[in-house]
Amino acid sequence: MSDRLAVLPQYLLPKHALTAFAGTFATARLGGITTRVIHWFVGRYGVNMAEAANPDIGSYASFNEFFTRPLKPDVRPLAPAEFVCPVDGAISQFGVIERDQIFQAKGHRYSTAALVGGDRALAAQFQDGSFATLYLSPKDYHRIHMPCDGRLLRMIHVPGELFSVNPVTARGVPGLFARNERVVCVFESARGPFVLALVGATIVGSMATAWHGVVNPPRPGRLREWRYEDRQLRLRQGEEMGRFLLGSTVVLLFPKDTLRFNPEWSQERVVRQGEKMGEGAGQGTCPVAGTVP
């Protein structure tokens, strides 16, 4: 079956209604029902509870409390690198932004302007830059951390669809990451601006940031923006910046000549938060998207 045919049912599903229902259930405190669902989820997806700060499944009052569980101290040490991986997950794609085009999958690209909600001035800062798209599966740790030190400038909530973001859907839905609902966070670092975008998906009840709390819901159906330029809101490398209340994908954007990716990175490689993502550019070149080994 082709990927486009495989994703056809997603066009027909009431994705927003399903997501709203999932969000309601995930926050509910249902005692034994919640515990049984968590037990099932851990077994079904192979969640490693040995890494959790609290490995006792029965102690979580809600599914979201379990899903956003913190890890034990030091299980994700920071690599001695200028840029570290912000999440646990797998590499969907990474490489060079070709002019303003981000590689999604064979036959599919989308623009930086579309990703950030239509702000062409913001998008222009990443012309011919580099990007990484990291997929968080259900079993993964779902907090997002800073890849480097940064000062928060803006946060943009872009309304959109709620397609799944698994690899099959990425291959089958054109412009997926610029169509789905997303929270775009813009930072300034010692090497210039960078974007960390949290992309929603079917059943992703909400997304939250460390400085704002839950961003969605509400879902008013229009673009919302918060500006922080007049505040000194700084986050250190490795510090938590946000979380998915049910998982999804992170897309990072960096300007040209900023980042040289870790040579050990490759498409579909499993990655861990805190491992080396790359060093400052000038000591090599970024791989071209879609051609990484």
Residue 24 CB coordination number (10 Å):
10
Beta-bridge mates of residue 156 = 184, 225
CB atoms under 10 Å from CB of 167, counted, come to 16
R_g of the chain computed on alpha carbons: 18
Stretch (H or E) spanning 35: helix 32-45
Which of 116, 209, 128 minimizes the C-alpha distance to 160? 116
Ramachandran angles phi, psi of 285, nearest 5°: -130, 155
Sign of the alpha-carbon dihedral angle for 50, 52, 58, 63: negative
At position 177, the amino acid (one-letter code) is: F
Q: pLDDT of the chain along its 293 residues, tens only?
A: 566 566 656 565 555 566 565 667 677 898 999 999 999 999 999 999 999 999 999 999 999 899 999 999 999 999 999 999 999 999 999 999 999 999 987 778 999 999 999 999 999 999 999 999 999 988 999 999 999 999 999 999 999 877 767 777 777 777 778 888 899 999 999 999 999 999 987 666 588 999 999 998 778 889 999 999 999 999 999 999 999 876 689 999 999 999 999 999 999 999 999 999 999 986 444 444 443 32
* Residue 270, amino acid: V
How far is the C-alpha of 86 from the C-alpha of 88, rounded, in Å? 7
Helix (H) or strand (E) holding 110: strand 108-111
- Catalytic positions, written as ranges: 88, 145, 248
Centre a 10 Å sphere on the Cβ of residue 199 and count the other Cβ atoms it contains.
Answer: 28
* Sequence-distant (≥ 6) Cβ neighbours of residue 139 within 8 angstroms: 45, 46, 47, 48
